[in-house]
Structure 1
């Protein structure tokens, strides 16, 4: 299956992408991984992306699209892939349509993870990270530390990242609504969109997604 995963920040796309890709035996292709791989390998596209990022600028669509096309052409993606974070706007979606058409391929589904905006803010703004080890993550509502402000694992101080503050989260949501959400209508016109609720436990959302992709909505 060839799938695009879309949803607002905090919808759990990365988590669901990993589980879905494993269940469907297809590679999970995320924009972040594409950038990291190309930059670390010193590819021409990676050098271009790094130059823009070092200058504090957004990486142009054509560079991101080029990386995605290269990755989708790899042998492990021959029988499908799951795209996470790409396309992020309508022009990228149109470029993806053209690239797949040129290869005689097409998307099978666009999985839209739906989460109420207030829940997104609660999920992200409630995160607390350990200053000693950023892999130690807690949440003021869903995964409370035994002692407020103290990491259960190492005793380090827990803090709220700047990116997780409510004001920043709402700005990220504004960008999502303005730039990325329109791709849902783009794909609805092609009859590809499958919308599911991303509320609940991780395994519940994964089952919901698998059922929807199989047509058991």
Structure 2
């Protein structure tokens, strides 16, 4: 018996009741599904998307093989070779921090983490990045901050997916954090949203 073709497999997957074709959030392009989309004849792919071949690219800004493919060639105070970074980072941390990947929405450790005090530091180099007082509930699926510790975060233009976005990296080691968005109307002092991957952060209760 011949295995099913890719065409027949794709035809067997139906997603119904799309209220909007696409929404843009952080680095991902995610179909918005109506609550009624979870019928017996529907397949809703959310947290499993990063492993689905055609959709996994939306959870990574690029597909680099080493640090030479990073968006900028800026010199940072703390530098290591890719093998040195791999020795201290988990595979997922390396993919996000050094290869500019993105964790799936609503899966990160700090997405709903709302402490009253403390500091979020860089996973790779332990540099302080954000205070607990900077964090706010955005509902975007990733930790959100309206500001950072002065001088802790560096901004770069990211033109992946054919759109201009502002990437944010650790100013000490250049590790990828996420992106920053302005003018979204959140009731915060800066009207900015630093959309950060949880794996790029570590939390300490001591400030």
Q: TM-score range by the shorter chain?
A: under 0.3
Answer 1 or 2: which has greater strand percent.
2
Larger RCO of the pair (alpha carbons < 8 Å, separation 6+): 1
User: Which TM-score applies when normalising by structure 1?
Assistant: 0.23
User: Which TM-score applies when normalising by structure 2?
Assistant: 0.24
Answer 1 or 2: which has greater helix percent.
1
